[in-house]
Amino acid sequence: MRELPGLIRVDFNELAKQLWRYGWLLLLLCAGVTLAVYFFSRLQTPVYQATARLLAAQPTAFSSGLNSLPVASPLDSQAYREAALSSQVLKETLGGSQGRETLEQFRRRLRVRTVEGRQSSIVILSVRDNDPARAARLANEWADALRRWDDQRVRGSFSRYRVSLEAQLRTVQADLERSANSPERREGLRSLQGSLLRDLDLVRALEQGATGQLSLLDLAEVPLRPVAPRPLLNALLAGMLTLALGVLLFVLREALVRTVRSSEEAMGLTGLQVLGEFPRLLGPGRELPKEAASYLRTYVNRGLMSEDDPKIVAVTSPEAKDGKSSVAIALARAYARTGKRTLLIDLDLHRPVLHEEFGVKSGPDVVSVLRDPLFGVAAHQVERGLSLLPCLQSVDDPSGLLSQQLRPFLRRLREAGEWDTIVIDTPPVLAVTDTLVVAPQVSGVLVVVSVGITSRRGLRVAVDNLTRIGAQVLGLVVNQLRPGEGVLVTSKGYFGRYEAPLRRPNSQEQDPLHTQW
């Protein structure tokens, strides 16, 4: 078991058990999700992708005889990517079909990728459409539109230079038409005019034949197979994702658990041995298994070998609803079955319940005995060899009464010699202080732990409180175990007779003695 920050405790052994127990459900869910995604993908409209490739090569330098010949700046792949998705190129691609879908809708179906090289790069234009022929046509038109845009960009630089030359030529011609020019100036203007005419002819020729960096590498062909949906791939991914999420949920569930999950965990938290284990029972009025109680009696006797008779054993728990009263009854009956004269005392003066189990409504009770030192220790004979001293009346200050009268009361029980074993049902340790008054004065204390109910922190604090006051804690009694779990016996033992579904019983199915005391 690993302790994580924030008091989060992950028991990987318990996690493995949970996965082993419920793994078939997770696998069944994964199979169902896989099949559902597969058939749902098959029902979707297929999408085809056509791809055209363009080569973006660096322009080759050449000598034209013009010192100021304009040359368009080369573009990198990122610039071509942005240009391909520009509104100008996309409008030219759609042409007359633009009214059927907006540019933004069309842009969502486009993909642009580039592959960089040392001297050139490749621009890959992909179009997705439900019609494979239309996808191929749009991809080729898109490539042509991008090429035309690049050609116009290069021609634009020559066009601007041509316009500049034409303006200069008009200025020179206007100067020649003036009569005030000297012969030398007229000769110079005619020479400049000839030079401008040569440059203009050259620029016009270059403008007409200028091309950009892009050239068509591969035309888009009509795709034969759709790129989406992919039923098999989608189904496998959905199944793997469901499996991963399922395992994650198991981990989170285990990380969020704050209660004791097993006998091994209870021993690890307290350092105490498990002396008895009881399974989870269904249905009201069910008695705890006799075999389990016999195990508990045997281990308690071994822990109290040095004690003289009568042996006085207190049964408590960290919190309410751990089943301590049921364990006390089972232990007392186990002693009675061996012929021991056994007395069962209800010292849970806050919530007494033992009288309800045995149907005792009147007569002597423990409160009367504690309040009157001269009152004889009379008990109800409820079963063969088993007597009960119940609590039949309320007490204003139970802790104060026990502090004053418990010691002489236990002395009278020992001196009377009427019982060989005395089992005392005491309140939860963390609820009231009564048990801390009783525990140091008895032969030993049993701490009842209910799987799935007792909190880990509560168990450690309760055992620590009992140890601090000098009580002899004999060990733990683990309650509400699932069939087949435990450290003392396996499912082939007494658990085999009390198998129950792997779920917590509801309020109608709970044993009031076993789960609510």
Mean pLDDT of 54-76: 65
What are the CB-based long-range contacts (under 8 Å, 24+) for 355-362? 355/388, 355/390, 355/391, 355/392, 357/325, 357/329, 357/513, 358/382, 358/383, 358/388, 358/390, 360/388, 360/390, 360/392, 361/392, 362/392
- 123 burial class (0-12, 13-18, 19+ CB within 10 angstroms)? buried
- pLDDT range class, residue 342, cuts 50, 70, 90: very high
**pLDDT computed for residue 446 by the predictor:** 96
d(CA 113, CA 78): 9
Percent above pLDDT 90 for the chain = 41
Burial readout 455-475 (b: 16 or more C-beta within 10 A, e: otherwise): bbebbeebbebbeeeebbbbb
Residue 335 has pLDDT above 50, yes or no: yes
Q: Report the sign of the C-alpha dihedral through residues 134, 137, 143, 145, in that order.
A: negative
d(CA 32, CA 361): 58
Choose the weakest-confidence range: 26-40, 88-102, 114-128: 88-102
**pLDDT computed for residue 99 by the predictor:** 55
- HSE at residue 356, side-chain half, CA atoms within 13 A, is 10
Mean pLDDT of 266-270: 90
Instruction: Find the Cα–Cα–Cα–Cα dihedral 407, 302, 292, 288, rounded to 10°.
Output: -10
- pLDDT range class, residue 234, cuts 50, 70, 90: very high
- pLDDT range class, residue 169, cuts 50, 70, 90: confident
Nearest to 126 by CA among 50, 31, 225: 50
Q: For residue 67, which phi and psi values (nearest 5 degrees)? A: -70, -30
3-state secondary structure of 204: helix
- pLDDT range class, residue 260, cuts 50, 70, 90: confident
- 419 burial class (0-12, 13-18, 19+ CB within 10 angstroms)? buried
- pLDDT range class, residue 96, cuts 50, 70, 90: low
DSSP codes joined into one string, 302-336:
HHTTTSPSSEEEEEE-SSTTS-HHHHHHHHHHHHH
Nearest to 424 by CA among 506, 311, 503: 311
- pLDDT range class, residue 11, cuts 50, 70, 90: low
ω into 279 cis (within 30 of 0): no
DSSP codes joined into one string, 39-60:
HHHHHSPPBEEEEEEEEEEPPP
DSSP letter (8 states) at residue 273: P
Residue 502 has pLDDT above 50, yes or no: no
What are the CB-based long-range contacts (under 8 Å, 24+) for 108-111? 110/84, 110/85, 110/142, 111/49
User: How far separated are the first and last CA of the chain, in Å rounded?
Assistant: 30
**pLDDT computed for residue 220 by the predictor:** 93
**pLDDT computed for residue 440 by the predictor:** 94
Contact yes or no for 362/392 (Cβ under 8 A): yes
- pLDDT range class, residue 240, cuts 50, 70, 90: very high
Contact yes or no for 223/48 (Cβ under 8 A): yes
**pLDDT computed for residue 490 by the predictor:** 44
Residue 121: left if φ>0, alpha if ψ -120 to 50, beta else—which one? Answer: beta
Helix, strand, coil percentages in the chain from 3-state DSSP, rounded to 5: 50, 15, 35
Two tokens, residue 277: 């284990």
DSSP letter (8 states) at residue 5: G
Residue 182 has pLDDT above 80, yes or no: no
- pLDDT range class, residue 3, cuts 50, 70, 90: very low
Two tokens, residue 358: 């045995």
- pLDDT range class, residue 510, cuts 50, 70, 90: very low
Residue 480 has pLDDT above 70, yes or no: yes
d(CA 273, CA 266): 9
**pLDDT computed for residue 264 by the predictor:** 87
Residue 208 has pLDDT above 90, yes or no: no
- The 10s digit of each residue's pLDDT in 109-121 is 999 999 988 778 9
**pLDDT computed for residue 72 by the predictor:** 63
**pLDDT computed for residue 63 by the predictor:** 47
Residue 507 has pLDDT above 50, yes or no: no
d(CA 201, CA 207): 10
DSSP letter (8 states) at residue 228: B
Q: How far lies 443's CA from each of 332, 408, 464, in Å?
A: 15, 15, 18
CATH topology of domain 263-496: Rossmann fold (3.40.50)
**pLDDT computed for residue 504 by the predictor:** 34
d(CA 236, CA 419): 70
Residue 433 has pLDDT above 50, yes or no: yes
**pLDDT computed for residue 503 by the predictor:** 33
Residue 316 has pLDDT above 90, yes or no: yes
Angle of CA points 238, 242, 246, to nearest 5°: 175
- 348 burial class (0-12, 13-18, 19+ CB within 10 angstroms)? buried
- pLDDT range class, residue 122, cuts 50, 70, 90: very high
**pLDDT computed for residue 308 by the predictor:** 74
Helix (H) or strand (E) holding 444: strand 444-450
What's the mean pLDDT when you consider all of the chain? Answer: 83
Residue 496 has pLDDT above 80, yes or no: no
Q: Determine the residue type at 159.
A: S
Residue 417 has pLDDT above 90, yes or no: no
Q: How far lies 168's CA from each of 163, 180, 208, 444, in Å?
A: 9, 20, 21, 118
Q: Which residues pair with 218 in a beta bridge?
A: 53
- Of 94 and 284, the one with more pLDDT: 94
**pLDDT computed for residue 499 by the predictor:** 37
What pairing do the DSSP bridges indicate for beta strands 473-481 and 444-450? parallel
